[in-house]
Amino acid sequence: MRMRIAQDDAPHEKSIDRFIRRVVLLTAIRRSLISLAIFGFTLGLIVLSMKAASNREPGRLIWLLLGIIPCVLISIILALRRRPQRAAVRAMLDLRNGCGGLLMARERLPLGEWDRKLSRVSEPRLRLRASRPTTMAAASVLFLAGAFFIPLRPLIVTADSPLDIARETQEIASDIELLKKEEIVKSDEAASLEEKLDSAVSEAKGEDPVKTWEALDHLQAEVSKLAQESADKMARENERLGQAQALGEALSSDGSTLDSKLMSEAMKELQSQMQTAAGDGESGRSLPSELKNGLKSGSLSREQMKQLSQSLKQMQGDISKKLGELRDARMIDTSTLKQCENAGKCDGAGLAQFLKENAGKMLVGEMMDSWGKGGINRGRADAPMTWTDPSTEKGAKFKEQVLPSSLAGLKDSQLVGRSTGAPDRSNAGAQQTGALRGATAGGGSAVTQTILPRHRATVNRYFERR
Amino acid sequence: MEEEREQILQPVELKPAIELIEKTLEQLDRILLGRSDLHRIVLVAILSRGHVLLEGLPGVGKTALVKALGQILGLEFKRVQFTPDLMPADILGAHILQESENGKREMSFHPGPIFTNLLLADEINRASPKTQSALLEAMQEQAVTLLGATRKLPDPFFVLASQNPIELEGTYPLPEAQLDRFLFKLVVNTVDTEVLDRIISTRRRGEAPRPSWTISADALNLVFNVMDRVYLPSPVSRYISRLVAATHPTASEATELVRQYVMYGASPRAAIALAEAARGFALISGRPTVGFEDVKSAASAVLNHRLILNYKARFDQVDSFAIIDSLRSGMDETGLNLPSEIEMIK
């Protein structure tokens, strides 16, 4: 029969109890540290996730910290369940104290006088090596604290991330302002553009910059298009004004040499030019009423003609100023500006001479249209095309000739082999990248073309015939 | 058995046995110089009622030790010189046809030298396996069966055999079954210069002195009775079991050396022998209980001849003592199994 003889009040029994308690305590501490580390990291992740998901400070999650209590309790329970067996502890103390089995025997048998020898039993000291769990637990606590107290804003990067479009917005706004100032667009159109710009600015988000950039690009293109269209109109008006000015100068300088009929037609043509130019209306200036009436009646004096010429110059100057401002605002380029200015240049003396030469041959309007076009040869690019009779083979002589055979070129060749497969398509020397990929300096991209043996005769025939 | 007793051996009960043991050891140390450790362990074997195989070079005192032991213990002592032509009947005895006084012829048993208390089997490995096997039953069951009749051997019965580790030509190594029946296999080494000087100075022609004291039969029985009452605590018996089990290469607690070099581990008989030997060590140390240190002290002598090593061990020159040392040092005796993060400081 196994019966426990040991008495709990004996010193060595207390040593056994004390040792077991220390082991349980240290084990519980270690397990608690581990569970704290796991709990801290897990809860920290949960808190961060909830903060990021709900955009709210998770103050109400603070009660989850109470979860550490069951973790510690579980650690203690596990440590108690895994506590060392009393018999093993007794054996260890027996061995360490050199009891020679007496302490172990005391569990089953009374020792009698041997009991006195066991009074000096002492338990060994214990040391817990828990630097790693301690570090992990400390790190988890810091992580958890950070998760609770870190500001919400850095977590929500995508929601309020600004998009810096101030410079682009300012540029477009100044362009619209310029268009409005120069009366290129009407106030309601300008207001519409500004409204679009404001909308693009208000909807600008860092999470979707492409949308904003596309809107701004579209708006910029729209403004540029308006500016370009206005520049085209001004170029046409400048051209009309130039023609009108040249006509005016011609009439004022050589009016005495022109007959009255031609003079009257020229006045009407001048009026027509002025009306056409006024239709474009980009200069923003109109002729004085007496000049308008004179043009209408065809009775402008020489002084009035000079006055008209001056007015037209001023109108051209206004257009040039507008174009200059558009160029300064980089809404049109310098070449466009120069093209517009050149459109307004006209040789008044030349025109007078041309009118005088062609008087009676065509109307003044036709002369104005054809003046400056054509010449000794077929004229410049905008000269009207002239068509003649098609060429004929009549009278031509042809010499009949027998074409050589397609195999004639191969008579000196030597057959070294024949293959039914495609020839080697090595691109030695050809460009490997970029737009000229596959092309060589001397041969172009044809080097990449594969000529199969069955094509060779056809190719030879083609070149031999030439 | 121990659970039924009410009290452990008390110092008063232990003291007479300890004194007898000390006197015996004193006599042995006086007769054979410089062999104290060997005397202690041989006496442990006697107390454990086990047989001892002494292995050593000629002239190191094996036979002298056994003779002196027989004289001190007051036991009947016989010596058999094992030779290749020795037959089992030469040891066990034989039935001889004899004519009685009334003229009737009958077979009568003539006991061999094995019918003694202390048998010295000198150079046991020179006899044939057949003759060696004649000792199997005698050593294990302390009885001899001839022609269907089993005869008990005298009590106590000990076999102290010797063998020479050199001159192996013409010898028959003991089979494992035979080896297993020896409680200890002890390697008897030569003595140092100082001891040799004392032997030369005090012993003419090498004759050992006669013992000045011998133990009586009653005293010997007293020692055996006390030995029977030495208590083996369960953690220690558990340690013995684990230690013996760990000698097998497939055991969970086997060390790397065991896994690498041991072909067959120790038998359950080894565990029994180890427990008995540990009791003997505890008694010699004057304690009524067996401690872990007693098991460790007995382990080498008990296990060294019971481990069958593989050829790799022979190639790497690893002997069974190294393997037993690895077991003793690599195993936690108490089985406390503290968590690895908790360290015990002295």
Query: For B119, which DSSP code?
Result: E
Residues of chain B with Cβ-Cβ distance to A82 below 8 Å are 339
Enumerate residues 10 to 29 of chain A having a beta carbon within 8 A of any beta carbon in chain B.
Answer: 23, 26-27
Q: For the complex shown, is ipTM > 0.85?
A: no
- Return the residue of B nearest to A87 by Cα: B235
Q: What pLDDT is attached to residue A156?
A: 53
Q: Is residue B195 part of a domain?
A: yes
| Sequential DSSP letters for A151-197 | -HHHH-TTTS-----HHHHHHHHHHHHHHHHTTSS-HHHHHHHHHHH
If asked whether residues B114 and B157 sit together in one domain, one would say: yes
Query: For B231, which DSSP code?
Result: B
Nearest to A88 among B335, B341, B344 (CB): B335
Q: Is residue B315 part of a domain?
A: yes
Task: Answer left, alpha or beta for residue A183, where phi above 0 means left and psi between -120 and 50 means alpha.
Answer: left
If asked whether residues B200 and B304 sit together in one domain, one would say: no
Alpha-carbon distance of A27 to A11, in angstroms, equals: 24
If asked whether residues B323 and B295 sit together in one domain, one would say: yes
Tell me whether B329 touches chain A (CB under 8 Å): no
Beta strands in A376-432 (DSSP E): none
Please state, rounded to an integer, the average pLDDT across all residues of chain B.
Answer: 89
If asked whether residues B138 and B278 sit together in one domain, one would say: no
| Percent with pLDDT over 90 in chain A | 5
Alpha-carbon distance of B272 to A454, in angstroms, equals: 100
Residues of chain A with Cβ-Cβ distance to B294 below 8 Å are 100-101
Q: What pLDDT is attached to residue B26?
A: 93
Q: Is residue B99 part of a domain?
A: no
The segment with the largest mean pLDDT, out of A383-397, A419-433, B290-304, is B290-304
Is B8's CB within 8 Å of A100's CB?
no
Q: Is residue B346 part of a domain?
A: no
Residues of chain A with Cβ-Cβ distance to B291 below 8 Å are 94-95, 98-101, 104
Q: Is residue B29 part of a domain?
A: yes
Q: Is residue B209 part of a domain?
A: no
Q: What angle, 0 to 180 degrees and rounded to 10, lies between the N-to-C axes of helices A68-81 and A11-54?
A: 150
The segment with the largest mean pLDDT, out of A301-305, A308-312, B48-52, is B48-52
If asked whether residues B234 and B223 sit together in one domain, one would say: no
Where along chain A do its domains lie?
Answer: 11-155, 160-371
If asked whether residues B218 and B240 sit together in one domain, one would say: no
Asked if the model's pLDDT at residue A214 lies above 60, the reply is: yes
Q: Are A117 and A106 in contact (CB under 8 A)?
A: no
If asked whether residues B147 and B184 sit together in one domain, one would say: yes
Q: Are B237 and A107 in contact (CB under 8 A)?
A: no
Q: Is residue B133 part of a domain?
A: yes
pLDDT band at A268 (very low <50, low <70, confident <90, very high): confident
If asked whether residues B241 and B224 sit together in one domain, one would say: no
Residue B293's CATH number: 1.10.8.80
- Return the residue of B nearest to A114 by Cα: B10
If asked whether residues B222 and B319 sit together in one domain, one would say: no
Q: Is residue B76 part of a domain?
A: yes
Contacts of A246 (CB under 8 A, 6+ apart): A346, A347, A348, A350, A351
Lowest-confidence pick of A155-169, A182-196, A240-254? A155-169
Phi, psi (degrees; rounded to nearest 5) at B95? -90, 130
Alpha-carbon distance of A41 to A103, in angstroms, equals: 47
Mean pLDDT by 10 residues, chain B (346 residues): 63 92 93 90 94 89 87 89 92 89 87 92 90 86 88 91 82 87 91 87 80 89 93 94 95 93 94 96 94 94 94 91 93 85 81
Q: How many domains does chain B have?
A: 2
If asked whether residues B222 and B238 sit together in one domain, one would say: no
Q: What pLDDT is attached to residue A149?
A: 81
Is B289's CB within 8 Å of A102's CB?
yes
Tell me whether A81 touches chain B (CB under 8 Å): no
Enumerate residues 280 to 319 of chain B having a beta carbon within 8 A of any beta carbon in chain A.
Answer: 282, 285, 287-294
3-state secondary structure of A291: helix
Residues of chain A with Cβ-Cβ distance to B287 below 8 Å are 100-102
Query: For A409, which DSSP code?
Result: G
pTM given for the model: 0.60
Question: Which domain does B246 fall in, by range?
Answer: 230-335
Residue B55's CATH number: 3.40.50.300
If asked whether residues B220 and B298 sit together in one domain, one would say: no
If asked whether residues B153 and B69 sit together in one domain, one would say: yes
Q: Which of A92, A96, A134 to mutate to test the interface with B (most CBs of B within 10 A)?
A: A92
Nearest to A125 among B12, B291, B345 (CB): B345
Q: How would you class A417 by CB atoms within 10 Å of its CB: exposed for 0-12, middle for 13-18, buried for 19 or more?
A: exposed
